[in-house]
A and B are shown apart, each in its own frame.
Chain A
């Protein structure tokens, strides 16, 4: 192989290795891109992870939407967790507070995190919360049980075809992995 071919090969290999490293980075870049896409479009039932300021909407008294509440515990999370009511009929634009009860069944301090999900996914962008226990990790003392509120409003701009919204929370035991 003559010298010029060797040099051409070396240059090409350098370029291709650069492409490989770039694609490795691209794989990781997909993570924030995916989140951005979910947030922008409200797909995947991803809900805002922080509180919004309470703004006054015009209440639509003529419309009623049923909001259902579901609670679940991730595998091996030793807790009691239930909503105060199974469902509530709401008027779009009006604020409501619903309480959830959670209890640590162990004799140790537990750090747990509730992950929300909204179904159907497309309504996530119309479901606003000013207060939620899911916005941060919750620390429970041994055997502690407490009532925690969720304050929410359904944006009156929600398309007419939606008559039922399901709000689901899953508690995960993060005691081992919590950075606190």
Chain B
């Protein structure tokens, strides 16, 4: 492989542009991947700081630090920043870095659009952040932006809506780019059913994105015209219906949660076989399960609105359809477990995070199954139980897997080894504190504590204090990850990193056949040998 790279450098010879402008004008998939990942990391800390405000306010009953309006702005902005600023961009960053290297392509299919989608993301998030400083404050209606409440937002409303438009356009461009790359840029011999699982999950996610982001853009545009141009989509006075917004929103919103979890599944399916030293168990069933989950995600949306007064037939349909999702998801959990079964496992940091993901995501999945039962959901709806549920599927699932991906590929990206001791410390602090943080919220929810309220009855005091303590430890532990990223970029442990980094990794995927760090341009000549260990 190195011969190919050297030959390439002879007759092209253009590395990155000099200076800071490199990062503004770059069209290189590795540069853009890095930009996405660093931006997502920054937003992870911004959204995390907002979560710390929430947990500080909830540390004790009564009002402590912030007024209720600002508290509600914090819950809203925490969610929007984490979803659109941290988790989604982080996975797009991984896609940018890894997909071309995994399928043997020289770059993404549409490099200039790639640059534009990143900078639109930055513009969108800045616009969103600017609403914090506007008259009337940032949106405080929850991330779902339900009318009529959201229409009471002050000056910030149009800015928040345009920010959603920008973020939507950015995601759609990213998704189109990923689909074009996977369909048209694969190396000869890299058939669809030989692609690594991460590529497969992103292909399906990209289709979800182009199907749902325009619907969300439409929904918020209706909010905009309802507020400023006298339309009545959701305004009862003009014959509209606020429940209509909930239907449109969740038609977007339910697939959206799979946008955040499917690439998570992809990374887990990539990491676990490497450290179990076995091929992935049930590759084709993994592909089909992913597609099945994506399909089902479009026909279950009203399980978010069991309490709006649907007829029994509707409740039953959405209940059973939702329960069906447990089957393909169960297939996946079974396959990861079977992959580890009798494997020669070692427990480096990426594997630790991945195992924690399998266990804790399954717990989040089970509470989801509980809430799919419509009559039971009337008790859980809008309580801390749902907060506990989706945080289990996002924090020790998506976020843990993003951490795992960071540890797994940092040596490849930088050519330096991270400090394993600090990595393990980061893992153990995170995995314990995340449970101290979120597990008590199940109890709070079952006992009836409503979400998105800054004050609570005194019987909830103990578990809230424990949850907040877990939150502070979890938040502080993430600074270790920041340290590790900076430390590794600057040289890490100084240990020499091979192209494979992990034992026999090159059998699983093409990126491990490239040097660490990979040269600026890779696979300008397609690879000839396609790894098939993962199949």
**Which A residues are within 8 Å of any B CB, using their own CB?**
1, 5, 8-9, 12-13, 16-17, 19-21, 23-24, 26-28, 30-31, 34, 38, 41, 43-46, 49, 74, 113, 115, 121-122, 170, 172-174, 177
Contacts and interface: CB of A to CB of B under 8 A. Distances in A.
B247 A30 contact: yes
A18 to B, nearest CB: 10
A31 to B, nearest CB: 6
A50 to B, nearest CB: 12
Contacts of A177: 230, 237-238
Interface stretch (B215-223, B389-397, B449-457): B215-223
Contacts of A41: 311
Contacts of B238: 113, 174, 177
A115 B213 CA distance: 32
Nearest to B524: A1
A19 B211 contact: yes
Nearest to B251: A30
Contacts of B310: 43
Given A113-B237, A174-B237, 17 more contacts: A9-B180, A12-B180, A16-B176, A20-B176, A23-B215, A27-B217, A27-B248, A28-B218, A30-B248, A31-B222, A31-B233, A34-B244, A44-B243, A121-B309, A121-B311, A174-B238, A177-B237
B210 A20 contact: yes
A172 B235 CA distance: 10
A34 B109 CA distance: 39
Main secondary structure of the interface of B (DSSP, over half): helix
A115 B241 CA distance: 11
A38 to B, nearest CB: 8
Contacts of B248: 27, 30-31
B309 A13 contact: no
B219 A43 contact: no
Contacts of B109: 5, 9
B239 interface: yes
A49 B239 contact: yes
A22 to B, nearest CB: 8
B284 interface: no
Interface residues of B, number: 38
B299 interface: no
B410 interface: no
B99 to A, nearest CB: 15
Contacts of B309: 44-45, 121
B29 to A, nearest CB: 13
A113 B309 CA distance: 24
27 contacts: A5-B185, A8-B183, A9-B110, A9-B184, A12-B180, A16-B210, A17-B176, A20-B214, A23-B210, A23-B214, A24-B214, A24-B215, A24-B218, A27-B218, A27-B251, A30-B215, A30-B251, A34-B247, A43-B314, A44-B241, A44-B243, A44-B309, A45-B309, A46-B241, A121-B309, A172-B237, A177-B230
A1 B184 CA distance: 11
Nearest to B237: A172
Nearest to B230: A177
Q: Which 8 A-B pairs have the closest CB atoms?
A: A27-B218, A172-B237, A24-B214, A27-B215, A23-B214, A16-B176, A8-B184, A177-B230
A36 B309 CA distance: 18
Contacts of A121: 309, 311
Given A74-B237, A172-B237, A43 B210 contact: no
B212 interface: yes
A38 B373 CA distance: 24
B93 interface: no
Nearest to A77: B237
B251 A23 contact: no
Nearest to B172: A20
A13 B110 contact: yes
Interface in B162-186: 172, 176, 179-180, 183-185
B236 interface: yes
Contacts of B180: 9, 12-13, 16
B106 interface: yes
Contacts of A8: 183-184
B144 to A, nearest CB: 16
Contacts of B110: 9, 13
A123 B179 CA distance: 48
Nearest to A23: B214
Nearest to B185: A5
